């Protein structure tokens, strides 16, 4: 039986506005059954490409209040809509 790959995603920012604040940290905990891995992107390592590469193979993203903050912030700053590309339970 194939297990789905899940990711728990959280970001840290310099403020609340995605137009005037920066993302300083993207933390991603990847889970595939008993196999887990943690990815932390910091500062200049954060880009649309590095986020998407880190989420390669992921089917579901979990966040804490992410549909109101994390995912729209990432979309505004980097132009990638993670809610379109991955399942994101509310």
Q: What is the pLDDT of residue 1?
A: 59
Q: Is the pTM of this model over 0.85?
A: yes
Q: What is the pLDDT of residue 89?
A: 86
Alpha-carbon distance of 4 to 12, in angstroms, equals 26
Phi, psi angles (nearest 5°) of residue 88: -140, 90
Beta bridge partners of 83: none
Count of structural domains, the chain: 1
Q: Which residues, 6+ apart, have CB-to-CB distance to 27 below 8 Å?
A: 9, 10, 11, 12, 38, 39, 40, 41
Average pLDDT, the chain: 94
The domain in which residue 67 lies consists of: 6-85
Beta bridge partners of 11: 26
pLDDT classification of 90: cutoffs 50, 70, 90: low
| Domain assignment of residue 57, yes or no | yes
Q: What is the pLDDT of residue 2?
A: 63
| Domain assignment of residue 45, yes or no | yes
Q: What is the pLDDT of residue 88?
A: 87
Is the model's pLDDT at 58 over the cut of 80?
Answer: yes
Q: Are 58 and 31 a contacting pair, CB within 8 Å?
A: no
| Domain assignment of residue 90, yes or no | no
pLDDT classification of 3: cutoffs 50, 70, 90: confident
Beta bridge partners of 28: 9, 39
């Amino acid at each position: 039986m194939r297990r789905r790959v899940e990711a728990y995603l959280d970001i840290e920012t310099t403020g609340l506005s995605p137009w005037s604040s920066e993302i300083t940290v993207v933390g991603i905990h990847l889970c595939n059954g008993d196999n887990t891995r943690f990815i932390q992107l910091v500062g200049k390592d954060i880009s649309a490409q590095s986020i998407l590469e880190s989420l390669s193979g992921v089917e579901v993203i979990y966040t804490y209040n992410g549909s109101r903050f994390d995912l729209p912030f990432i979309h505004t700053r980097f132009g990638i809509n993670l809610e379109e590309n991955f399942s994101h339970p509310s």
